[in-house]
Amino acid sequence: MAKIGINLSEGKVNKEEKKEIIIGIDLGTTNSLVAYSKDGNPITVKGKDGKNSLIPSVIHFKSDKTVLVGDEAKEKLITDPENTIYSVKRLMGKSFNDVDNQKDYFGYRIIDTDDDSLVKIRVEDKFYSPIELSAQILKTLKKRIEENLENSVSKAVITVPAYFNDAQRQATKDAGKLAGLDVLRIVNEPTAAALAYGLSLDQNDGQTVAVYDLGGGTFDVSVLRIENGIFEVLSTNGNTFLGGDDLDRVIIDHWSSLYKLEDQLADANFKQALRLKAELAKKTLSKQETFKDTLNNFTLELSKDTFEVLINPLIEETLNCCNAALKDAKLSTAEIDHVLLVGGSTRVPLIKEKLQSLFGKVPNDTLDPDEVVALGAAIQADILAGNNREMLLLDITPLSLGIETVGGLMDVILPRNSKIPSSVGRNYTTSIDGQKNLKVAVYQGERDLVKDNRKLGEFILTDIPPMPAGIPKIEIQFLLDADGILKVKAKELRSEQETEIRIKPSYGISEEEMALMLLDSMKNAEADMAQRVLLEARNEANSVILASAKFIEQNAAIFSEVEVKDLKSYIQKLKEAVEGTDKDLINKAMDELNTFSRPLAERAMDHNISEAMKGKKL
């Protein structure tokens, strides 16, 4: 099969194959970095100062809306928290309902839409999705490597935690696309670590590996089985709110009570300075027995022994997670061939000691734990670039396959680069009360609107039993077999009514045309995302408008005339915003309507409950 290269900077398709560097990216919760392979060896790319390969995953919006990413943005966390976004990885692919009980953790505003649409972040009067924010980090990494190589890059492998679900993986891919990167593969972080340690090259009967990853704010452990170059995740466990920050916190608490710092801690600047000293103490104690420093008039001291007593409960918790992961994988510690250390916090000596006694073997720590995931991503990238012939490349789909959803949006079901054969199912529902038929239109391509993609066919699922909108459960299944034949099946799960079609997606399209479609989607990524965000805001607003109208109808008696009038005027404002094309205005009107109606909804609920209780003896 001939390979067709894309030159994004020139906007051209090259017929003859040209060797291109594919980059590897570790998009972390706390820090991110980029790496590539040079003559078969992975290396990470450092900043202009030549020192640090880590870029803090922090984004700051200046008052003129220009964006800072990395160290400069991190400095704004204390002075301007509302306009400074951190830990955005925690929000990828999440709805507000998913993060509702964690919202106090974030210093910035996450919009409460009270439903399961994806979260948005409000910075003054602008609304951003986690995808757009992650794209800012990716753009910074892309720029860094382009400056370093003095060449443009457009293809990437990005790593994600093994526990990421489809929505989180898709969001990561979308962020890459928005940053101008063609994401060839999403790779699990523990898999990347194992690649970096060269474990897949061992020709033995295969091996079992535990990857212990303690980062800045998260902990996870994965048990992997590697056989014939194939990686299988046997189990994962962890705590998404346990990391290096918590080690810093126990030091702060210790000093605070030892030196009576409560009064000083009311000052945000002092608090931040103390936090930095605590982190410095932690890092120093990874190499030395004692730490001593001053802050204002205070002398701060900590010995390694005291530090280890303080953090012991946290480390014990991570060991419990390791045991749980082993149990899920039905393995004993003796059956683990290698323990790999990942994440900056694994430099703490106590962690190494405890892991050694748990597993009965010395953990692998020869590679830099901050860099190991990015290095593995660069190795995977080099394999995809065709530079490593020992690895077999599986057959993959060249373009994404999906269906049309409300507003003419493309909903990708089988993403491009999926392995063949493949089978994926996703559930949908109706949007109109009593809807009997559902049209399923199948498209191929990377654009966000189906009108810009290639239509492969359509069919109608008939005889859906009449139900209110949103109640029927319709499963759409895509099955792509080894011969490249796609079977699309739609089934209403209550009535078991079903219909299907068969299509050959590669029929009538040349490789060059496919490459052109891909190029088009990269060129239009930003405009497409803007369209998608606008259409999604409209869809969401329309359902909020409908729900609000129903709400007034059912509860008018409970509210005062003024309240009903105000509520109606908020609805009217939202209706007007929906007519326009400014998604920030729609989101703002929606946010205001939700904020106004929330206390009313609570009152209505209380009222309805007490009505229901009347006359009943408890």
Positions marked catalytic: 26, 89, 189, 213
By CB under 5 A, tell whether 445 contacts Mg ion: no
Residue among 24, 176, 190, 215 that touches Mg ion (CB under 5 A): 215
Closest distance of CB 162 from ligand ADP, Å:
13
Residue with smaller CB distance to ligand ADP, 286 or 387: 286
Residue with smaller CB distance to ligand ADP, 174 or 245: 245
Which of ligand ADP, Mg ion, none interacts with 24 (beta carbon under 5 to 8 A by kind)?
none
Count the Cβ atoms, other than its own, within 10 Å of residue 310.
16
Residue with smaller CB distance to Mg ion, 28 or 445: 28
Alpha-carbon distances, residue 323 vs 29, 237, 349 (angstroms): 25, 9, 20
Which of Mg ion, ligand ADP, none interacts with 542 (beta carbon under 5 to 8 A by kind)?
none
Closest distance of CB 363 from ligand ADP, Å:
15
Residue with smaller CB distance to Mg ion, 28 or 472: 28
Instruction: Return the closest-CA partner of residue 119 out of 100, 95, 99.
Output: 95
| Host H or E run for residue 245 | helix 244-258
| Host H or E run for residue 215 | none
Closest distance of CB 215 from ligand ADP, Å:
2
Residue with smaller CB distance to ligand ADP, 176 or 217: 217
Token pair in block for residue 299: 């002398």
State phi, psi for 99 to the nearest 5 degrees. -110, 5
Closest distance of CB 315 from Mg ion, Å:
18
Token pair in block for residue 73: 């943005």
**Cis bond leading into 190, ω under 30°?**
no
d(CA 531, CA 534): 5
For residues 185, 210, 215, 320, the Cα torsion angle rounded to the nearest 10 degrees is 140
d(CA 286, CA 303): 11
Closest distance of CB 298 from Mg ion, Å:
33
Residue with smaller CB distance to ligand ADP, 146 or 279: 279
Stretch that binds Mg ion, among 68-76, 213-221, 395-403, 608-616 (CB under 5 A): 213-221
Which of Mg ion, ligand ADP, none interacts with 200 (beta carbon under 5 to 8 A by kind)?
none
Which of Mg ion, ligand ADP, none interacts with 30 (beta carbon under 5 to 8 A by kind)?
ligand ADP
Residue with smaller CB distance to ligand ADP, 53 or 397: 53
Count the Cβ atoms, other than its own, within 10 Å of residue 451.
10
Alpha-carbon distances, residue 67 vs 62, 87, 237 (angstroms): 6, 16, 35
Which of Mg ion, ligand ADP, none interacts with 120 (beta carbon under 5 to 8 A by kind)?
none
CB 445 within 8 A of CB 513: no
d(CA 191, CA 377): 9
Residue that is written with structure tokens 């803090």 in the block: 56
Alpha-carbon distances, residue 268 vs 66, 78, 265, 277 (angstroms): 25, 7, 7, 14
Instruction: Give the burial class of 431: count Cβ atoms within 10 A of its Cβ; 0-12 exposed, 13-18 middle, 19 or more buried.
Output: middle
Which of Mg ion, ligand ADP, none interacts with 348 (beta carbon under 5 to 8 A by kind)?
ligand ADP
Which of Mg ion, ligand ADP, none interacts with 31 (beta carbon under 5 to 8 A by kind)?
ligand ADP
Closest distance of CB 161 from ligand ADP, Å:
9
Residue 441 bridge partners (DSSP): 458
Residues of span 16-55 touching Mg ion by CB under 5 A: 28
Q: What is the DSSP letter of 156?
A: E
* Contact residues: ligand ADP, CB under 6 A: 28-31, 54, 215-218, 243-245, 279, 282-283, 286, 343-345, 347-348, 370
d(CA 155, CA 138): 12
Nearest residue to ligand ADP, by Cβ distance, number only: 244
Which of Mg ion, ligand ADP, none interacts with 398 (beta carbon under 5 to 8 A by kind)?
none
Which amino acid would we find at residue 140?
T
d(CA 493, CA 109): 38
Which amino acid would we find at residue 616?
K
Binding site for Mg ion (CB under 5 A): 28, 215
